[in-house]
Amino acid sequence: MKTFVLTTASALLLTSVGVGYAWHANPDKTQVSENDTEMIQQKAQVDTENMDDFLEYDTLDDVADVDHFNSEVVEDNPHKRIILLKDDNAQPQFKSIFVKDTNRLKIINLHEGLEYNEIIK
């Protein structure tokens, strides 16, 4: 009986130490301040305002009349840029995927499918 009690107590002690360590050692528990959120939103707005400087803008305007939609740059990193064109009800209508490494542009009508898939110069 003593062996059972000691084994159980040891297991509980080791488990609680492990849980405590995991709880305090996890750096992913940082709080996001309102300032950080505002900076991210401002960056997205700046990118959207300069859309006509994007290499794929002219083709995107030809395929989907950009003036009739609100544009949102969803992702813009060194390898690709994704733009959503939304209607007045904030419903996405077109998705543009530009692969910067190969200059490939895909424009997808979210209701009818792929409308453009070519390398642009």
Structural domain spans, the chain = 50-119
Give the whole-angstrom CA distance, residue 74 versus residue 82: 5
Question: pTM of the entire structure?
Answer: 0.60
Quick: pLDDT tens for 29-50.
555 555 555 555 445 444 455 7
Identify any residues that bridge with 94 across adjacent strands, giving them in sequence order: 85, 109
Quick: pLDDT tens for 76-90.
999 999 999 999 999
Report the amino acid identity of residue 108. Answer: I
% helix / strand / coil in the chain, to the nearest 5?
45, 30, 25
Reference 32, options 41, 45, 22; nearest CA is: 41
More confident residue, 71 or 49: 71
